[in-house]
Amino acid sequence: MAEPSTIRDRRIEVLRVNAFTDTPFKGNPAGVVADGDGLSEETMLAIAGELNDISETVFICRPDDAGADLRLRYFTTTMEVDLCGHATVSALFTLGWLGRIRGENEAKTVRVQTNVGVLELGLQFEAGKPSWASMQQLAPQSAPAPGAALAPSILGLPESALSAQFGVACAYTGLWACFVPLRDVSWLSRIQIDSGRIEALWPDNPELSGIYPFAFVDAATTQGRFFSPPKYGIAEDPVTGTACGALGGYLLSQGGMPEGGELIARQGFEMGRGGQVRVSRNENGNMQVRGQAVAIYRGDLLV
């Protein structure tokens, strides 16, 4: 066994944060590395595997782009991904908790370099503490799902489970996902996912991140689940900010966005990790998601 002196060359501050909730042990957990500069991609991937057994870990780094205040990189246990909503919210709250972003009763704007470009993020403070984080995503795009007819069998549901109000289709606000409207929420707990066939929904698009079945709870609220292909190393994600933003884009293309302009997207309840994302379209035409977060632990990682 290595002596302690041989493994304490560098201490890296890390947090585990639950995003899109204000309740510990709910929402979507993210690992957050407060200082990712100088770490190799191999090390980032290894750290992601140690910090988070469910989905992504985010690394806060100095930017390469002069127009950005910082850079965020996101890793699952198997690969780097271009964008991650819940890890972004977790990173923003972490920066507020550590005093690297400060405010009293105001919103602070942060420009962040990601693999899909520089995005404008916001952190709202109340009495000096971070209370809400917002993430601007890209302008929504939509497209038919070539394998739409396969959606029921991939979900392990009968065709009668699908809603006739909207069609199965794909949408993008930073990551492509396929959206499957269900008749009611009860079908969500009956899903028997065939993860190995998810990519058949759009075989020619290697960027398809997963399938998102959902149902309306009321006129302004949906509840859904998100499943990814095996290559991402995430069987089911509890509360997916990027997919919820794309859900807003999908509903805009289908004429189903709430009249008030803000959707409450609930997710993770079938996993016992329920949380919610507030989704809207801002004045420049981009989608935006908002959420809260709570820290679960904070400490040092020895590398």
pLDDT of 136-172, one tens digit each?
Answer: 999 999 999 999 999 999 999 999 999 999 999 999 9
Six-digit token string for 214: 């959902």
Q: Is the pLDDT of residue 53 over 80?
A: no
4-137+290-302 and 141-285 in the same fold: yes
Q: What is the pTM of this model?
A: 0.93
- Taking Cα atoms as reference points, which of 85, 70, 29 lies closest to residue 245? 85
Q: Residues 141-285: name the CATH superfamily.
A: Diaminopimelate Epimerase; Chain A, domain 1 (3.10.310.10)
- 43: helix, coil or strand? helix
Q: How far is Cα 285 from Cα 56, in angstroms, rounded to an integer? A: 27
Q: At a CB cut-off of 8 Å and minimum separation 6, what does 65 contact?
A: 71, 113, 118
Q: Which residues of 159-196 are buried (b: 16+ CB within 10 A; e: fewer)?
A: eebbbeebbbbbbbbbbbbbbbbbeebebbeebebebe
Q: Is the pLDDT of residue 258 over 70?
A: yes
Give percent of the chain above pLDDT 90: 92
Mean pLDDT value across the chain: 95
Q: Which residues of 252-286 are buried (b: 16+ CB within 10 A; e: fewer)?
A: bbbebbbeeeebbbbbbbbeebbbbbbbbbeeeeb
Q: How far is Cα 233 from Cα 87, in angstroms, rounded to an integer? A: 16
**pLDDT number for residue 249:** 98
Where are the chain's structural domains? 4-137+290-302, 141-285
- Taking Cα atoms as reference points, which of 265, 261, 262 lies closest to residue 244? 265
Six-digit token string for 199: 């990519």
**Catalytic site residues?**
56
Q: Determine which helix (DSSP H) or strand (DSSP E) holds 263, and give its type and residue range.
A: strand 262-267
Class of the CATH-defined domain 4-137+290-302: alpha beta
What share of residues in the chain are helix, strand, coil (percent, to 5)? 25, 40, 40
Six-digit token string for 259: 């009249």
Half-sphere exposure of 199 toward its Cβ, with a 13 Å CA cutoff?
10
